[in-house]
Amino acid sequence: MTGEFVIAIVKTIVAVSTLMTLAALLTWAERKQSAVMQDRIGANRAAILGFRAIGLFHIIADAIKMMTKEDFVPPFANRFIHSLAPFLAIFPAIVAFAAIPMGDTVTLFGHTVEMRLAPMNIGFLFIFAMASVTVYAIVLGGWSSNNRFAMLGAMRAAGQMISYELALGLAVVGSVMVYGTLDLMEIARAQTGLFAGFLPNWGIIYQPLGFLLLITASIAETKRAPFDIPEAESEIIGCFLEYSGMKFGMFFMAEFVTTVVVAGLVSTLYFGGYQVPYLMADGFHLPFGLFLVTPAALVPWLQFGAFWIKVVFFCWLLLTIRWTLPRFRYDQLMHLGWKILLPLALFNVAATGAWILAAA
């Protein structure tokens, strides 16, 4: 019992610190990647002991600066809610990650350890429940700031959430139907093996439309460009404009944490999660009968690595989209959500059902 408790704590520390490190690195990646796309160099001056580490220390500088910045609550604002909102933004984003499997079970010191934080068979529901809590953060933050621009941002966030939550939920129903479970670990396990003899048996093969819908809706959910309508800096300066220092930093971080969670969800559902192509329990079964033996103890760690590589790839994809596209208008976003994504998601559900029936 104690052993499991220790394992749970260690797992939590490892997973949350990986998540937060990755989110922090994403702030750096965003700066550097946009710099590369825009023919710039990007942040590189902050040095510790003469080492610049390609600008990585700017993250530390930003963090220290934000923590020591004056903490400001606007006059006539609701102090409690104003302070609550940033916590409400970042907490559910971190917690949502608990349902995502980072690898298969491993045996450590005689204990069987499942590589995810919370073994639960309702993974989807948990993630979506948490995702919809984050919008309260923005709505409350915007409202309690007692500022017209922030208020507009909050209204936009609420409208956007309603428009996309539905499409988001329906997009994954297809996957649920295919695999017959809400448990993300089960879904990841089911994606082992090969399809048609040479393709990895990943979810994208069964749910290509679901993937497109999910990634669109989840970018909207992360509220990043082209869906950064609540923030829309050049229009309404953003819904967090009355937040200073680390409270603003927490909203900022929440965005990146959500990006990681979305990347994790997308990889799990459609790209095999922790599955490495052609890797079975005993080694790599490559096409044309090639076989490569891998020590059985190494396999779970290869899978753990593969999961994070996939996550990093999707984070990169989301950043690229963010720096390429202009922003939607409020009503165009509604149009996309209700008139395009929602019918498509419904169609996806119906088509998947028909396909399952036909296959049976």
Partner 1 sequence: MGMIQSSIDALSGSVGLGKLDDLLGWARKYSIFQYPFITACCGMEYMSAACSHYDVDRFGAGLTRFSPRQADVLFVVGTITHKQAPYLLRVYQQICEPKWVVAFGACVIGGGPYENYAALQGIDKIIPVDLYIPGCPPRPEAVLDGLIKLQEKIQKAPHGRE
Partner 2 sequence: MSQHALDRLTDELGGALLDSCSEHGDETACIEPGHLHRAARFLRDDPELEMNMLVDVTAVDRLGRDSRFDIVYHLHSLGRGHRIRLKVQASDSGEAEIRTLTDLWKSAEWLEREVYDMFGVRFEGHPDLRRLLLYPEFEGHPLRKDYPIDKEQPRLPDLAGYPEVDYDASEDAARLLKGMQRTLSPRLNGTAGRNGKVLHGAEAGLRSPVASGTDSRGRTRNLFLDMGPSHPAMHGTIRISVELAGERIVDSDVDIGYLHRGFEKMCENRSYAQSIIFTDRLNYVSPIINNVGWSLAVEKLLGIEVPERAAALRVLMSEISRIADHLTCVAAHSMETGAFTAFLYLIEAREELYKLLERVCGGRVTLAYSRVGGVAADLPDRFEFHLARALAKTREMMADVVKLLDGNRIFQDRMVGVGAISPKDAISYGITGPFLRSTGVSYDVRKAAPYSGYEKYEFEVPVGQNGDNFDRYLVRMEEIRQSMRIIEQAIAKQPEGPIQSEDPSVNRPPKSEVYTSIEGLMHHFKRTMSGHGTAPPTSEAYGYVEGGNGELGFYLVSDGSDTAYRAHCRAPCFAPMSALSSLIEGLTIADVIPTFGTVNMIGGELDR
The yes or no reply on residue 72 touching partner 1 (CB under 8 A) is: yes
Q: State which amino acid sits at residue 312.
A: V
Q: How far apart are CA 109 and CA 166, in angstroms?
A: 44
Within positions 149 to 178, which residues make up the interface with partner 2, using CB under 8 A? 149, 151-152, 156
The yes or no reply on residue 42 touching partner 1 (CB under 8 A) is: yes
Question: Residue 143 Cβ, how far from partner 2 at the closest point, in Å?
Answer: 8
User: Considering CB distances under 5 to 8 angstroms, the limit depending on partner class, which of partner 2, partner 1, none binds residue 151?
Assistant: partner 2
Within positions 232 to 291, which residues make up the interface with partner 1, using CB under 8 A? 233, 237-238, 240-245, 248
Is 132 or 244 the residue whose CB approaches partner 1 more closely? 244
Cβ neighbors of 194 (< 8 A, separation 6 or more) are 200, 201, 278, 285, 287
The yes or no reply on residue 220 touching partner 2 (CB under 8 A) is: no
Within positions 221 to 240, which residues make up the interface with partner 2, using CB under 8 A? 225-226, 228-229, 232-237
Binds partner 1 by CB under 8 A, chosen from 13, 48, 53, 122: 48
Q: Peptide bond preceding 226: is omega within 30 degrees of 0, i.e. cis? A: yes
Binds partner 2 by CB under 8 A, chosen from 298, 309, 325, 354: 325
How does 39-74 read in b/e, with b if 16+ C-beta sit within 10 Å? eeebbbebeeeeeeeebbbbbeebeeebeeeeeebb
Binds partner 2 by CB under 8 A, chosen from 5, 196, 288, 331: 331
Q: How far apart are CA 154 and CA 148, in angstroms?
A: 10
The yes or no reply on residue 39 touching partner 2 (CB under 8 A) is: yes
Closest CA to 326 of 231, 227, 226, 234: 226
- Helix 245-270 and helix 148-179, axial crossing angle in degrees, nearest 10: 20
Phi–psi pair at 283, nearest 5 degrees: 155, -175
The yes or no reply on residue 251 touching partner 2 (CB under 8 A) is: no
Distance (Å) of CA 94 to CA 15, 20, 97, 250 = 10, 8, 6, 12
Strand blocks (E) in 103-223: 106-108, 111-113, 194-195, 199-200
Q: How far apart are CA 142 and CA 140, in angstroms?
A: 5
Is 149 or 355 the residue whose CB approaches partner 2 more closely? 149
The yes or no reply on residue 304 touching partner 1 (CB under 8 A) is: no
Tokens of 141: 């933050």
Question: Residue 341 Cβ, how far from partner 2 at the closest point, in Å?
Answer: 14
Q: How far apart are CA 327 and CA 336, in angstroms?
A: 13
Is 4 or 233 the residue whose CB approaches partner 2 more closely? 233
Binds partner 1 by CB under 8 A, chosen from 22, 26, 33, 58: 58
Question: Residue 6 Cβ, how far from partner 1 at the closest point, in Å?
Answer: 34
Residues that bind partner 2 (CB under 8 A): 34, 37-40, 75-76, 143, 146-149, 151-152, 156, 225-226, 228-229, 232-237, 323-332
Residues that bind partner 1 (CB under 8 A): 31, 35, 38-50, 57-58, 60-66, 68-70, 72, 233, 237-238, 240-245, 248
